[in-house]
Each structure stands twice: as C-alpha cells, then as structure tokens.
Amino acid sequence: DVKVTQSSRYLVKRTGEKVFLECVQDMDHENMFWYRQDPGLGLRLIYFSYDVKMKEKGDIPEGYSVSREKKERFSLILESASTNQTSMYLCASSLPGSTDTQYFGPGTRLTVL
Amino acid sequence: AQRVTQPEKLLSVFKGAPVELKCNYSYSGSPELFWYVQYSRQRLQLLLRHISRESIKGFTADLNKGETSFHLKKPFAQEEDSAMYYCALSEGGSEKLVFGKGTKLTVNP
C-alpha cells in the first residue's frame, strides 16, 4: 500500500511566522503535489514537483514556496504566514503519467492567528 | 472560468434511491476524468477513472464528450456512500489534476 504521511495533523501558527509543512511518501513516486482544501472551493493546486529539485507552480502559488531535496520528501513553506492561509493542506504523490492515481496524505489543518 | 463544474454543493437522497452526482468540464482536447471520494475522517482516494470503464462500489461514470459531462451514478444508494465527492480533470496528458468544488452526498436511512 502506498503511504503518504504529513508531519502534523494540526498546526497553529501566528501571523508572520515561517511555517514548514512536510510530506513523505514511501513508494518511490516521481510526482508530488501540494493542495489546499477549502469548503466551497474544493482542492486547489499550490505546487507540483515531478522530480528532485524540479517544481512547477500550480493555480495558487502566491505566498508559498516548496522544496524537494530528496525524492520521498516534499516540503511546503509559508515564508510569512497570513490569516488567509488558514486551511487544510493536502499532499499527494503519483507515478508519472496523466492517468495514474494520486495518493493523498491525511492532511494538515493549519490555523494562522 | 471553471474547468470542472460540480453544480450541487449538497445532495441528499434516501437509502435505496438512485443517485447521480453531476460533473461538467471545459476542455477542447481529449480529457482524462476521475472521481475522488473522501469519507468522514479519511483521506481523499480515487474512486474511479473514465479510462478504466470500471464499476467501483456500484458506482459508474460515463464520459459524454458531446455534453462534456462525466456524471457519477449509482442505482441504489447506501448509507456508507455518504461522503464528499470530487470530479477531477487531467488536461492534454498533464500529470496535474484540476478538481471541481465537490459535492457532499448524504444518504439518509
């Protein structure tokens, strides 16, 4: 079974703090993704990585950056957290190929006060 | 403009009734379409993809290119089908997915 894990289930941070969300997958997948999930807005792609050190912006990259130094790990960074970044963050991974299943982590619920 | 539209935010049916969750997409090429499901307190997971033409948990979905739709159907809903359902689109062989806003299905006893 594919396992995608996220470092925290719940996180509370203050405005202006630097926040790191970590995601690890154990199936040697090339692709990794970060989404945010908001009620009424669905899932929106923040960033996508298709290989180590390779990344592409998604639909809503503003205010976020990412890091992929190792194949199994994909980090989402909020350089200066703001209240409008309060959300559920989902990480996913997949093999290359447009028809391949994306496997999701359990999510990190981030609250920025 | 929305590339994937799920017109119903909420859908409520009784156990044993047929259910149809609507999904329309906007893409001029050959799309690849998926349905993902999130049960309460569980992670998001793939339910089915159009290319497989499969039935999972009694659900089916047919791609209708003329109507640009990929509606999810089940003839007899069960209480355990209650969940959040997302339709997703892959454009032009892209490995990225575009998700709809989701439909919350509640199946009442």
pLDDT band at A98 (very low <50, low <70, confident <90, very high): low
| B95·A97 Cβ contact <8 A | yes
Q: Does A102 sit within 8 Å of B49, measured CB to CB? A: no
* The predicted structure's pLDDT at residue B91: 80
Q: How many domains does chain B have?
A: 1
Label residue B93 by pLDDT band (50, 70, 90). confident
Burial B11-31 (b: 16+ CB within 10 A, else e): bebeeeeebebbbbbebeeeb
Residue range(s) defining the domain that contains residue B59: 4-108
Map out the domains of chain A with their CATH numbers.
4-97 (2.60.40.10)
CA–CA separation, B82 vs B11, rounded Å?
10
CB distance from A54 to chain B under 8 Å? no
- What sections of chain B are H helices per DSSP? none
As a whole number of angstroms, the distance between CA B78 and CA B58 comes to 10
Q: What SS3 state is found at A75?
A: strand
Residue B2 pLDDT > 70, yes or no? no
Residue B93 and residue A98: Cβ atoms within 8 Å? yes
Interface test with B, best of A43, A46, A50, A89 (most B CBs within 10 A): A43
Interatomic CA distance for residues B85 and B20, integer angstroms? 11
**CA-to-CA distance for A62 and B32, rounded, in angstroms?**
27
CB contact under 8 A, A45 and B51: no
Are A41 and B101 in contact (CB < 8 Å)? yes
Under 8 Å between Cβ of A108 and A45: no
**Is a pLDDT exceeding 90 seen at residue B1?**
no
CATH number at residue B101: 2.60.40.10
From A59, A107, A65, A60, select the one nearest A87 (Cα to Cα). A107
Q: State mean pLDDT over B28-45.
A: 92
Give the tens place of pLDDT for each residue, B44-69. Answer: 999 998 877 788 899 999 899 899 99
Question: In the block, which residue shows the tokens 């719940």?
Answer: A10
Region of A69 please: left (phi>0), alpha (psi -120 to 50) or beta: alpha
Contact of B51 with chain A, judged by CB distance below 8 Å, is answered with yes
Looking at residue B87, its pLDDT comes to 97
Whether residue A69 has pLDDT greater than 90:
yes
Q: Is the CB of A111 inside 8 Å of chain B's CB atoms?
A: no
Contact (CB, 8 A) for B76 and B18? yes
